[in-house]
Chain A
């Protein structure tokens, strides 16, 4: 459903997205992850025809977004930087978007969404999506008075307005309180159950872990992983945690031996990609006492940090 091939974007000297290639199959929910500044938003904007790629292609259903006969009927998007005219009510914003979606269609045969039909259908659909995102009571209030969470909900309502097959959501949980995050998770699960394709970006893996089938992880504009969550964890290196009074000396020794190690506390070292036996042997040879070792399977967050260099 979504095909990204060799996608590259350079802003002057900054290479924001670097030769990115991945697919999202129809009906999949994919988490699009990476630390802040990894290039997620730029990639989504290129996919949506808002930013011109320096090289490569980004297609939805085999076409560029601008060539889709019914763009908003095919793709609903809620992007992080998109905003609303503050003096306009939520309902008026949706009225405009309902009309705009219809105007953006280049094919009469694709009048599928109810938001594009008669004015009564449009009104009904607007009421429906307002109810879906729990904004019915705020529908006639000016958006300028909305909290960040309410704006996120209005963004989602806009994305869902034309009942699209594909949803592209950029950091939709930003600004939501814990209850809102849970609501969003349930909403995404419902949308996935309806067979929609969802690409949801986040810099926090836990936000999408309970919803996503697959994850695509980006770092410094490059793809660092694409797999299912279970494959991601299975392929992760276990972490060995060591308690020693000579943490700095042990860390230096392991690093010299080519074993990645980090001092996480004055008496603690964390090591990945090495067995406790090898670490213990090296420490004994250099007379570094070890009081305690434990090996733990990496969790999703550990994997995310390993892949993205720990930056969040």
Chain B
């Protein structure tokens, strides 16, 4: 089943489009922020704070992984391909599980590529300035692993939302509005709640400062990010819960 879902992803232009968007926006954001590091009170790249902000510009990759997960599920209804899918494999739970695993695998790729781009661009700026790399290799590797794992989990979250809502447009808009606005506003007004919001918690897995949204901002939250394991458990829990609820509705739903 996973092979089939992977083949579907491989034969969808959307997959490559979203990966392209993630790479392009991450690279653009990283170049813009790298070129302005140390300017206008921004911390320079030879400080731990400055380099951390620069190497954790992962928000676009995480978002695109969630959007891809949403499309993996809702696309079946948008293009009315669910009929063929469930005719071939009537056990709908198996299909949903395969979609979740596939979205997670795609998320791993999105996360790894995004981490590679932001770290690559950041270290290029460090080398260009002739600065020493003030973060250890272990820390940088942890950021990369956190982003990769986080994107995988967000892919699964996307599948849950897509299966539940079914409307592709509503699902994709919902993911974007939630990540860009709902969490930013909620976390901005109520700092203490920020670490517990799923997208924010995922950005902190990759080392982004709270309130920065994974877009290279310093963040101005007074709260502390959850420990890695707690943040991962939170996002994974949300993914499991969403998929469990959507599986209950999808298994019973009429496919017409």
Contacts and interface: CB of A to CB of B under 8 A. Distances in A.
Interface of A: 42, 45, 48-52, 65-66, 68, 71-72, 77, 79, 81-89, 92, 95-97, 99-101, 103-104, 158
Nearest to A48: B87
Contacts of B81: 82-85
Nearest to B17: A87
Interface string B148-190: 0000000000000000000000000000000000000000000
Nearest to A65: B90
A99 B87 contact: no
A89 B80 CA distance: 16
B88 A87 contact: no
Given A81-B80, A87-B13, A96-B7, A52 B252 contact: yes
A302 to B, nearest CB: 33
Contacts, number: 86
Interface of B: 1, 3-4, 7-8, 11-14, 75, 79-81, 83-91, 94, 252, 254-256
Contacts of B75: 85
B254 A51 contact: yes
Given A81-B83, A82-B80, A99-B3, A71 B256 contact: no
Most chain B Cβ neighbours within 10 Å, of A72, A82, A97: A82
A84 B90 contact: no
Nearest to A66: B90
A72 B85 CA distance: 11
A15 to B, nearest CB: 15
B113 to A, nearest CB: 21
A51 B85 contact: no
17 contacts: A50-B87, A50-B255, A68-B90, A71-B89, A81-B83, A82-B83, A83-B81, A87-B12, A87-B14, A88-B12, A96-B7, A96-B11, A97-B88, A99-B7, A100-B85, A100-B88, A103-B88
B86 to A, nearest CB: 6
Contacts of B85: 100
Contacts of B8: 85, 96
A104 B84 contact: no
A85 B12 contact: yes
A260 B126 CA distance: 93
A160 to B, nearest CB: 13
Contacts of A92: 7, 11
5 tightest A-B contacts by CB?
A100-B88, A83-B80, A82-B83, A66-B90, A104-B89
A176 B12 CA distance: 28
A101 B3 CA distance: 13
Contact of B4 (A50, A51, A100): A100
B222 to A, nearest CB: 47
A42 B85 CA distance: 18
Nearest to B86: A50
